[in-house]
Structures are given as C-alpha cells and as structure tokens.
C-alpha cells in the first residue's frame, strides 16, 4: 500500500502508525536548532589538526617550536602527549591518535594546536615543520593479499580473510555466467561537518574534577566515551558525552575523528576548546565506503534456477581497520542476494592499503555485493532467455530458506511481494526525453545532461532495469548488541531517556509514539541524549527502530504494568482485567474507567530496561554459522533516459516496494526510502572519491558530485507491511535497503537503453561515467 492510499487511520494522534511530525522540525526550519558546529562559549579556544601530505612515510622529526612562537597559540600536542592508550578503533585498536613513527594515509593527524582564534590555529599548523622519509605506498589490494608488499602496519596487510563453503562444490550448472565488478569509493557527504566542543570538568558535573564533557555529533555516544576514555587514560565515568545536533551521518560518524584531540586540548588547557572541520578536512577525517572488486560466477539450470555461486571479494580497507572486518562479512554473506541457492563457495579479503581508511556507510558491504549479484542476475536472465523479473521470481527467497552460511531466514521474507508490487507500480507517463514545453519545444532541462544542454532529444533512448536486495539488520557475529531506555511516568507526563543518537532519521518521533501507545498518555517528554543512561548502541545497521524502539517499548510496558498493579490493588480489581484503552485504564470485565493522566497524578514510576536481540554466532572456518540477527528485503525498478553518443544519463523514475514489517511512521519511512535511493543514484552515476597515487583529488563539493533536485527523479513507493514476529514492534529497520539495490537497477536500466540501439556494454563498474557509455 502506498502512503497516499492509506485509509486505516491510527486510533489516536501521536501513536504508532501516525505520521507525526518532528519535535525539532520547526526549530530546524528556523535555523534555531543547534548543530554541533553552532555550539560555542565565551572564552573557548579553537583547535586545528596537522595532517600528513603523504600516503606512506616515516616521520624523521617534528619541529613544534615555530608554532609556539605565534602569539595566541595555547597548546601544541603530538603523539607524545597522549595520556592513555595511543591508538583507537571500533574493532581493532590500530589507529594512532596522532601518527608518531609512520604516516599511513594522506590526511593522517600528526599534531593538533589550540589557539585564540581559528586563523591563528591555522597559522600555527603551517609553522610546524615535519621531516618525512617517503616510503613506497601500498596501493594495490592484490599486492596486500599476495604478500608482495612489506607490512605497512604492525598488524599486517590483511585485515581479515574469510571463506564460505556450502553444499556440493562440485556441481556445475547448464548455464554459467560470470563477471568482475568494481565499486568506487563513496563518501557519506553529510552536510553538517564534524564539530565538537569539550569542557574540562571543574568538579561540578562529574564529581571531583579531572574529567571532560564533550558535545559531539556522533552515531554512538557510549562507544565514543569508551574510546575517548581509553586514550585519555580516564575511567569512562569521567568522560561525559552529550549529543550535539547532528547534520546527517550515514556511517561517517561511527568512528573517532576529532573527539580525542578536542578533549586532549581542553584537558591540557583547562579551558573549553572547539574543533570544526571544513569540507576538505572532512573528506580526510572520516571513513568512506570501501572500494571493492568482486568476481562472480553463477551456475543455473537451463530454466534459470540457481545451483551454485562462486565469488571472490576484495575490500580495500585503507590504512586502518575501522569496521572493515564486519563490512567484509556483510558483503560475502550477502553474495547470493535475496535468492535461494543450495551451493556456494565465496572467498573474501579486507586488506590494508595506504588509501583513505574505509568503514561504515549506509548499506555496509551489502551495497557492493548487490551491484555484483544483480548484474549477474541480468546476465543469467539473458543467458536463459528470461525476463529480468521472471528470473528473480524463480529464485526469490522465502521465510525458512537456508543461506550459504547455513543460517535459516526466520524473518518475514516477502521477496516475491516486493518484486510483484514494484512491477505493478505505474511506469512514468513522461515521454522519452521529457514533457515538451507548452510551445511544443523540447524542455532541455528534462534531457540527459540537463543544464549542460548538450543532449539531442532525437538521440535519447529509454531503458528499464531491476535490482532486488537483502540486508542484514542489527549487529552480527556474537556482538553483545543491546539498547537501553528509561521511562518515567509521573503526574500524567511520561519522560523517556535514551542515548540513541538522533542523526535525522527520526527516532525522536518513534520514541514518543511508542510511549503514547503503550502508556496511554499524550504528554511525552524526551530527556537530553547523553551518556547519563546506558548505551543504546550505534545508530547504524538499520537497528534503532528495532533496538531502541524495543527498549523504549519494554521500559514503557514495565511502567504501565506497575501503574496498573497499583490501580488494581486500590480498586480491588484483578490486575489481569485492567487494560489501557486509548488514554484510559479500563476494567475489561466491568465498568471501571479512569484516564491514565488522572491515575498517575501524585504517583511516580521509573524503569530502565536493556533490550537485546537474540544471540548471534561467529562463522566457522567454512563460513558456516548463524551470524546475523534479521533480514530485510526490497525491490527497485529504474527508468532512465540515455544519450548514447554523449554518455549522459537522466534517471526518470524509481519504483520500489520495500519490506518494512510495519510502518510506525509512514511519512518517515517514505523519507528514508527517497533519501536512500538518492544515495544509491549517486553511487550509480555520480559519486566517487578519486585518489591518484594515494592522494585524494576531489575533496570538495565542486568535484565530488552529489545528486541535486534535478538529478533525483520522482520515487513511487509501496510499503510491504507484514509484521515481523521477531521484531518487538513488528517493524524492520528501513534506512539501508533503499540505497542497496537502487544502484544496480539504474545501471541495468542504462544497459537496457543502450541495447535498444544495438550497443552492448558491460558497465561493470560504478559509478558509471559518460566515457563508460559512449566510448
């Protein structure tokens, strides 16, 4: 059902199922919402970071003296000044707070300064003299695998290797298709740049002083707290992390960037210190989507049933590990896509190089896998003489199917419904080349190339392409994945506290909707998002609606049960007969009725709950094991117009049907779908970080191309609502799937358009560039 057709209005405003609007929405439209880059305080100092200009070099010497000579410079710090653990990292602690002996990528921090003003800080950086001995960088991932380059890090050049073997590896198909696919390095390109302000603790906030309070735009407050505390040599409770306003995240705020540097400067000086990156520094300061090379060979019967998949994945992790080992596992365990396949042999590497470090970005390994397996499914359709939709329907996974890891898919798995409902959505009614202007002339703005006004309408051809995908939700491989929420009900007001990072996705709406629904109160207040409550885990892996939603739901239920127990006792009614009906407590077998607001007057209940998903397990040597928690599915159909001579593409429409479980806030779900598709479109035809000899060449928004209003077509969306019994609210996370199979659908549509004029192109690399089409 599309949102527009929804007729089953929720029973009451503000509860689950209602498209309530953002509590911070008006402030955001007025410029009154405070982002972390807006935070300042009188007397604060400004920090800045000196970064490596070389991809791989030995640091011979660092001369800080000239920086100290500049008036207004208050602190200059290097690796020698790190009070605690010298390195950090989300999984392996392999990344130095400051480089000491070696620099391993262009942009690696070497020193930081604090000064009275940002210009003074920049001048101080320019005055620091670093002598390097240049070393031969490791830039070829195959050299890392082959052992053809000396280790560029004490942990070695292979971050992780994993194999998956399942079924009978000797079988062969009647039909075999194969290809090698490349995915370029994508940037999350959130608009709100990295920024933080650190306040040294004077003893008032954190006890007896010596601690630090950091206001930071992050995805995971407690992980920041843990890593910062370790590097500062402080116990975690001495590091208080408060969520600063977050201007988008998409994975790029999961790792440490300026957190430790800001805290070190503030602690050293005993004064508040601000740090803020500009766009160029942001490209260097956070991790990116892994550039990946994937070879695949699909075996199938003559009628298109998959019998075996062979694949080899190589993820270039860049200089430090970040989450590369988990991205690798996501990629290789999603290699079969949302399709049944009894046999498979998948090998994968995540390797180190002297490129920019890579880690989390929306889709997390599944994006790369999907471009490869969906390109393969189209090759299979061709080889079998089948329609792209038909070959996907013949192989569509269902609940209970077994993956190549041996794990059974226990979630709702409406793959066929996703495909069929997408196919049923209307195709665009605009003619090839766009709707003519009122005077009958071609509207050049609707042609491929748009404002460039270069395409000739007569040359433009249209194509249609498909992409279908699977995404694991939540964390995997035995990680103790939980979220904490606290619910307080007093005098008719519910107060919810959590450390769930609100990055724009809208958990601040969902949390109040859950509390209203469970408790029957309308007045729900959200407490400050900080480390003053247990961890919520990361706002990533499409996990917060399920995990923090589960925690808010459980805490609210505990409070409700206590209220009902007290009322039952006072009224002499069996508690099992009491229930919440809208905003009232009712006796289901009698006439008693009392509003929750009245019932809670003069009372106070306060409960904190940790919600955990079922345990997951490591993969064994053959890649077998129940490593994932849950799965979500989606289908995309792209319509594109292409000028084959110029290699220009205009995406005309994306249709999608997504497996969402239950749409708790349908308008928010549509927002996630459209936003995710825009990022998928970016990867398909526009976005790539270019590195030459280890040096980034487009660290700005002039040269790193982001989809604009004119690049992004209308989306027609249908929501597949089959409540998942394994999810606490029946809902699945919806953030990642939209950007996974939208990319291959667009590339397939370009291939289809070209085929209509007799041009066969593999287009086995994204982003597809004009030259890939026309040369």
Partner 1 sequence: MSQQYMLHVNGVDHEVTDGWLGESLLDTLRDRLGLMGTKGACTQGECGSCSVLVDGELVCSCLVMAATATEQEITTIEGVAPAGAPSDVQQAFVDAGAVQCGFCTPGLIMAVHDLLERSPEPDGTEIREQLAGNVCRCTGYGRIVDAVQQVSVRRAGSGSSS
Interacting residues toward partner 1 by CB under 8 A: 19, 21-22, 24-26, 28-35, 37-38, 119, 188-193, 245-250, 278-279, 435, 443, 445-446, 451, 503-506, 667-668, 670-671, 673-679, 700-702, 706, 708-710, 712, 714-715
* Strand partners of residue 96: 87
Q: Which residue, 225 or 665, is less far from partner 1 as judged by CB? A: 665
Task: State the Cα angle at 575 between 571 and 581, rounded to 5°.
Answer: 90
Q: Which residue has the tokens 């358009």?
A: 753
- Least distance between partner 1 and beta carbon 35 (Å): 6
Question: What whole-number distance in Å separates Cα of residue 76 and Cα of residue 414?
Answer: 57
- Strands, E assignment, 123-269: 129-134, 158-166, 175-183, 195-200, 212-216, 239-243
- Least distance between partner 1 and beta carbon 538 (Å): 17
For residue 767, whether the previous peptide bond is cis, meaning omega lies within 30 degrees of 0, is: yes
Q: Contact 540/251 with Cβ under 8 angstroms?
A: yes
Q: Which residue, 678 or 684, is less far from partner 1 as judged by CB? A: 678
Name the nearest CA neighbour of 212 among 231, 229, 195.
Answer: 229
- Least distance between partner 1 and beta carbon 150 (Å): 39
Q: Which residue, 302 or 710, is less far from partner 1 as judged by CB? A: 710
- Least distance between partner 1 and beta carbon 501 (Å): 11
- Least distance between partner 1 and beta carbon 433 (Å): 13
Q: Which residue, 182 or 443, is less far from partner 1 as judged by CB? A: 443
Task: State the Cα angle at 701 between 699 and 704, rounded to 5°.
Answer: 65
Q: Which residue, 234 or 287, is less far from partner 1 as judged by CB? A: 287
- Least distance between partner 1 and beta carbon 105 (Å): 23
- Least distance between partner 1 and beta carbon 189 (Å): 6
- Least distance between partner 1 and beta carbon 272 (Å): 16
Q: Which residue, 193 or 383, is less far from partner 1 as judged by CB? A: 193
- Least distance between partner 1 and beta carbon 26 (Å): 5
- Least distance between partner 1 and beta carbon 701 (Å): 4
Residue 734: Cβ within 10 Å count = 28
Three-state SS for 240? strand
Q: Which residue, 644 or 666, is less far from partner 1 as judged by CB? A: 666
Q: Per residue, what are the HEC states of 643-701?
A: ECCCCEEEEEEEEEEEECCCCCCHHHHHHHHHHHHHHHHHHHHCCCCCEECCEECCCCC
Q: Contact 310/382 with Cβ under 8 angstroms?
A: no
Q: Contact 309/298 with Cβ under 8 angstroms?
A: yes
- Least distance between partner 1 and beta carbon 289 (Å): 14
Q: Which residue, 119 or 574, is less far from partner 1 as judged by CB? A: 119
Adjacency order of strands within the sheet including 239-243: 73-77, 109-115, 45-51, 273-276, 195-200, 212-216, 239-243
Adjacency order of strands within the sheet including 292-300: 158-166, 344-351, 306-316, 292-300, 175-183, 765-766
Q: Which residue, 548 or 665, is less far from partner 1 as judged by CB? A: 665
Q: Which residue, 190 or 349, is less far from partner 1 as judged by CB? A: 190
Q: Which residue, 311 or 635, is less far from partner 1 as judged by CB? A: 635
Task: State the Cα angle at 550 between 549 and 552, rounded to 5°.
Answer: 65
Question: What whole-number distance in Å separates Cα of residue 699 and Cα of residue 611?
Answer: 40
Three-state SS for 590? coil
């Amino acid at each position: 059902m599309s949102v527009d057709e929804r007729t089953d209005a929720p029973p009451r405003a503000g509860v689950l199922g209602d498209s309530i609007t953002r509590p911070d929405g008006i402030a955001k439209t007025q410029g009154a919402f405070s982002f972390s880059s807006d935070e300042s305080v009188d007397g604060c100092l400004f920090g800045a970071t000196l970064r490596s200009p070389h991809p791989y070099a030995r640091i011979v010497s660092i001369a800080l003296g000239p920086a100290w000579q500049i008036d207004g410079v208050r602190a200059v710090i290097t690796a020698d000044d790190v009070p605690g653990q010298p390195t950090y990292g989300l999984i392996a602690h392999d990344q130095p707070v400051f480089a000491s002996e070696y620099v391993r990528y262009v942009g690696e921090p070497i020193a930081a300064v604090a000064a009275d003003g940002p210009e003074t800080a920049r001048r101080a950086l320019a005055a620091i003299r670093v002598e390097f001995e240049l070393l031969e960088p490791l830039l070829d991932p195959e050299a890392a695998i082959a052992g053809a380059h000396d280790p560029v890090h004490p942990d070695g050049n292979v971050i992780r290797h994993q194999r998956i073997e399942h079924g009978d590896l000797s079988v062969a198909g009647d039909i075999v298709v194969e290809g090698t696919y490349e995915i370029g390095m994508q940037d999350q390109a959130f608009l709100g740049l990295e920024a933080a302000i650190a306040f040294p603790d004077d003893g008032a906030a954190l006890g007896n002083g010596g601690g630090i309070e950091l206001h930071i735009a992050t995805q995971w407050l407690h992980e920041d707290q843990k890593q910062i505390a370790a590097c500062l040599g402080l116990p975690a409770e001495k590091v208080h992390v408060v969520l600063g306003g977050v201007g988008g995240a998409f994975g790029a705020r999961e790792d440490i960037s300026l957190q430790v540097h800001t805290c070190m400067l503030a602690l050293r000086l005993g004064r508040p210190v601000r740090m803020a990156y500009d766009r160029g520094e942001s490209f260097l300061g956070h991790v990116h989507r892994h550039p990946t090379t994937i070879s695949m060979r699909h075996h199938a019967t003559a009628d298109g049933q998959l019998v075996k998949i062979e694949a080899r994945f190589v993820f270039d992790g860049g200089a430090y590990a970040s989450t590369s080992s988990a991205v690798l596992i996501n990629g290789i365990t999603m290699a079969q896509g949302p399709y049944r396949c009894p046999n498979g042999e998948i090998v994968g590497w995540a390797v180190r190089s002297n490129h920019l470090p890579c880690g989390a970005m929306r889709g997390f390994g599944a994006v790369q896998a999907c471009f490869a397996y969906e390109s393969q499914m189209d090759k299979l359709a061709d080889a079998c003489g089948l329609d792209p939709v038909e070959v996907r329907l013949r192989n569509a996974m269902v609940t209970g199917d077994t993956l190549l890891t041996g794990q059974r898919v226990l979630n709702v798995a409406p793959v066929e419904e996703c495909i069929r409902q997408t196919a049923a959505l209307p195709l665009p009614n605009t003619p090839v080349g766009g709707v003519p202007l009122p005077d009958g002339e071609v509207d050049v703005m609707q042609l491929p190339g748009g404002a460039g006004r270069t395409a000739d309408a007569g040359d433009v051809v249209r194509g249609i392409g498909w992409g279908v995908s699977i995404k694991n939700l939540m964390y995997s491989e035995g990680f103790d994945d939980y979220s904490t929420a606290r619910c307080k009900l007093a005098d008719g007001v519910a107060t919810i506290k959590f450390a769930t990072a609100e990055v724009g996705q809208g958990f601040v709406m969902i949390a109040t909707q859950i509390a209203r629904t469970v408790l029957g109160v309308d007045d729900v207040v959200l407490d400050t998002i900080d480390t003053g409550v247990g961890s919520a885990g990361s706002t990533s892996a499409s996990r917060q609606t399920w995990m923090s939603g589960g925690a808010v739901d459980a805490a609210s239920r505990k409070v409700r049960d206590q209220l009902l127990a007290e009322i039952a006792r006072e009224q002499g009614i069996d508690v099992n007969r009491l229930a919440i009906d809208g905003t009232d407590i009712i006796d289901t077998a009698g006439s008693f009725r009392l509003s929750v607001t009245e019932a809670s007057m003069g009372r106070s209940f306060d409960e904190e709950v940790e919600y955990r998903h079922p345990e997951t397990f490591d993969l064994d040597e053959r890649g077998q094991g129940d490593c994932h928690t849950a799965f979500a599915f989606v289908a995309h159909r792209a319509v594109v117009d292409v000028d084959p001579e110029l290699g220009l593409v205009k995406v005309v429409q994306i249709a999608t049907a997504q497996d969402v479980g239950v749409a708790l806030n349908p308008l928010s779900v549509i927002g996630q779908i459209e936003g995710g598709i825009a990022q998928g479109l970016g990867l398909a035809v526009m976005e790539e970080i270019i590195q030459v000899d280890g040096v980034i060449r487009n660290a700005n928004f002039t040269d790193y191309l982001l989809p604009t209003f004119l690049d992004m077509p209308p989306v027609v969306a249908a929501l597949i609502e089959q409540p998942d019994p394994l999810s606490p609210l029946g809902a699945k996370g919806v953030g990642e799937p939209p950007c996974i199979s939208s990319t291959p659908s667009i590339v397939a549509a370009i291939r289809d358009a070209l085929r209509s004029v007799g041009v066969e192109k593999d287009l086995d690399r994204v982003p597809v560039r004009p030259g890939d089409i026309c040369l």
